Structure 1
Amino acid sequence: MNEMVRPPIEPAAREPAINAPRVVVALLALLAGIHLIWTFASDQLKLQIILLFAFLPARYDPAVLQGEILPGGAGADVWTFLTYAFLHGSWAHLVFNGIWMLAFGSAVAWRFGTARFLLFSAVCSVAGAATHLAVHWGDEAVVIGASAAISGYMAAATRFMFQPGAPLGLFRIGGATAFRVPALPLREVLRDRRVLVFLVIWFAANLLTGLGTLSLGGEGPAIAWEAHVGGFLAGLVLFPLFDPVLPGDQPGPAIEAGPPPE
C-alpha cells in the first residue's frame, strides 16, 4: 500500500519590517540612542554635551569669548563641525529628521554603499556648519541636528532619481537596479522640470523657515536654515565625487540590498 506524503511547505520569505539599507537603520539607531541618553541626562551633563559637541559659532570669535576657553578647546573647534549632527533638540526633531533620512538617505545609501554614504553624510554636515558659521559668525546660539546631511541626501537624490529608468523616472527599470542608473551632468539635470520644481519648493520652504513663518520638526524657536542650504549645495555639487556609477556604466545591482523587485 502506497502512502501519499505531502512535501513540507517552506514558509514564504518574510519581508523586513524596515526596508532600508543597514547603514541607514544603524545610523538612526545611533541617533536614537544618543538622544535617549540626552533625555535622562542631568542639566549639568546636558550643558557639557552642548559645549563639547554642538556647533557654536561664538567659538571662533575671540571678541565674544573674551579669553574664555570652552570645553574641548581647539579639538572641539574642529570636531563640532561634525558632531553637532548627532544631537537633536527633542524627540519630535529626531523623528522628523528620521523620516526624511529614511526616504532620501535610503536611496543615496543604496547607490553609494556604506563607506561612501557615511563620508558623504559627514561632508554635507561639515558644509552645513561652515555655511552657518559664515552667516552667523560669533553667534552664541548653538546648532544641532542632522538636517544638513539630510539636505545633502535630498540634493544627491535629484541627481539620479528622476532620470529614465530611475525610481522616479519614466520607464523605471524596477527593483534595486533602478538606483544604479548613470547620472546625467548637473546642467542636464537642471533642465528637468520636475527637478526645478523640487528645487524651487525646497528653497522656498527653507526661506520661509528662515523668516520664521514656517516651523518644522520641533527644532525650537530658530531653525538653522543656512546649514540646510550648505548641506544641500554640497550634496548637489559634490555628488559626482562619491557616485560609484560612471556615466557609461550599464545599470547593475545596488551595492546594498534595495527594494524588492516589482
Structure 2
Amino acid sequence: MNQSNEEHQGPDGPYFHRPAREPMFNLPTVVVGLSLILIGIHLVRAYILSPNEEVQTLLLFAFWPVRYVSGFMAQYSWPGETASAVWSFLTYGFLHGSAEHIGFNVLWMAVFGSAVARRFGATRFLLLSAVCAIAGAGAHLATNWGDQVPVIGASAAVSGQMAASLRFIFEAGGPMSSFRRHDTHAYAVPARPLLEALSDRRVLTFILVWFGLNFLFGVWSAPIAGEGVSIAWQAHVGGFVAGLILFPLLDPIKRRWS
C-alpha cells in the first residue's frame, strides 16, 4: 500500500498537504490471489469435474477423521494412501461446500486477513494461514476421533487470521481504534502481550461473541447440502487459538511492553 499527499491550491499557490486515503477495496495482493484460488477450485469442482471425479477429490483432499483409526488404512484402500492422510491436514481448507460457504470465508478474509497481510507481508501471512488450518484439523480430529464425516473449508485459517488481527487492530493508532490512522502505519502499531490485550473490553467482547456464535454453529450444525460434509466448529476454535498464540512468533513489529 502506498500513501500519497494531495496538494490543494489557493490563490497564492499550495496551502496545505493532506494524506490521501487509500481506496476501501485496495486489498493486499496475497489476499486477492488466495481468494481467487479458492474460488477457482470451487468453480472447477462445481462445473467441470464429473460426479466420480468430485468424489475422488474429496477422498484425496478433504479431512477424514476416520482415516486415523488404528488399522483403518490397512483394511481399506484409499486414494493417495498415507500421503493424502498427511496433506489433507492442509488441503481441506481449499475445498468448500457451496457458494455461500466460500463467500463467507472470502469476505472475512478480506476484512481481517487483509489487516494481517498488511502487517505480516505475504510469506508470513500464508504461513500463519497454513498453520492455523493444520491446527484446526488437529483440533477437529482430537474431538471427533473416528468420525466418518469429512471436513472442508478455509474457516480454520480465516479464524486464525481473525485472532491474529485482534492483537493489534484495536491498539492506539490501529485500523479499528478510536483514534485510528489511515495510512500504512495503522498496521504497524506495536502490540501488547496477550494477557494485557485480553484486558481490552473490545478484544474480550469480540472473542466472547465469536466463541458464542461458534457454539451455536456446533449445536445446529448439519452436513452441507449435496456434499455430505460438514463445517466443524472445533476446527474454527483450533485455528483461532493458534492465531492468538502464533501472532508474536510471526509478528515483524517490535512488541510493546507496559
TM-score (norm 2): 0.85
Q: Which residue of 2 aligns with 1:180?
A: 188
Given residue 240 of structure 2, which amino acid in structure 1 is its aligned partner?
A: F
**Over aligned residue pairs, what C-alpha RMSD do you find?**
2.5
**Aligned-residue offset at 1:66:** 6.4
Cα 1:108–1:55 change in 2 (3 A) is same
1:81-230, aligned counterparts within 5 Å? 81-212=89-220, 222-230=230-238
1:24-103, aligned counterparts within 5 Å? 24-40=31-47, 41-62=49-70, 67-103=75-111
Task: Kindly tell me the number of residue pairs found equivalent between the two proteins.
Answer: 236
Cα 1:215–1:175 change in 2 (3 A) is farther
| Contact persistence 2:135–2:242 (CA under 8 A) | yes
Distance 1:214 1:55 in 2: 16
**Aligned-residue offset at 1:65:** 5.5
Residue 62 of structure 1 aligns to a residue whose secondary structure is coil
Distance 2:232 2:42 in 1: 19
| Contact persistence 2:89–2:138 (CA under 8 A) | yes
> In the TM superposition, what whole-angstrom CA distance separates every residue of 1:104-133 from its partner, at most 9, and x where no partner exists?
110110000000000111000000000000
Cα 1:17–1:84 change in 2 (3 A) is same
**Aligned-residue offset at 1:248:** 5.6
Cα 1:134–1:215 change in 2 (3 A) is closer
**Aligned-residue offset at 1:192:** 0.3
Structure 2 stretches lacking a partner, 5+ long = 1-19
Distance 1:196 1:203 in 2: 11
Distance 1:62 1:237 in 2: 31
Distance 1:206 1:25 in 2: 26
Cα 1:16–1:29 change in 2 (3 A) is farther
| Contact persistence 1:165–1:173 (CA under 8 A) | yes
- For CA contacts below 8 A with separation 6 or more, give which structure has more relative contact order: 1
Distance 2:147 2:204 in 1: 33
Distance 1:220 1:234 in 2: 28
Residue 75 of structure 2 aligns to a residue whose secondary structure is coil
The structure carrying a bigger strand percent of its residues is 2
Report the identity percentage: 54
Distance 1:162 1:214 in 2: 35
**Aligned-residue offset at 1:81:** 0.3
Cα 1:242–1:137 change in 2 (3 A) is same
> In the TM superposition, what whole-angstrom CA distance separates every residue of 1:48-70 from its partner, at most 9, and x where no partner exists?
10010000001101355561131
Given residue 30 of structure 1, which amino acid in structure 2 is its aligned partner?
A: I
Structure 1 stretches lacking a partner, 5+ long = 1-12, 250-262
| Contact persistence 1:208–1:214 (CA under 8 A) | no
| Contact persistence 1:131–1:226 (CA under 8 A) | yes
Cα 1:213–1:196 change in 2 (3 A) is same
Cα 1:221–1:116 change in 2 (3 A) is closer
**Aligned-residue offset at 1:171:** 2.2
Cα 1:244–1:219 change in 2 (3 A) is farther
Given residue 145 of structure 2, which amino acid in structure 1 is its aligned partner?
A: W
Q: Which residue of 2 aligns with 1:244?
A: 252
> In the TM superposition, what whole-angstrom CA distance separates every residue of 1:190-234 from its partner, at most 9, and x where no partner exists?
000011110110000000111117999x99884300000000000
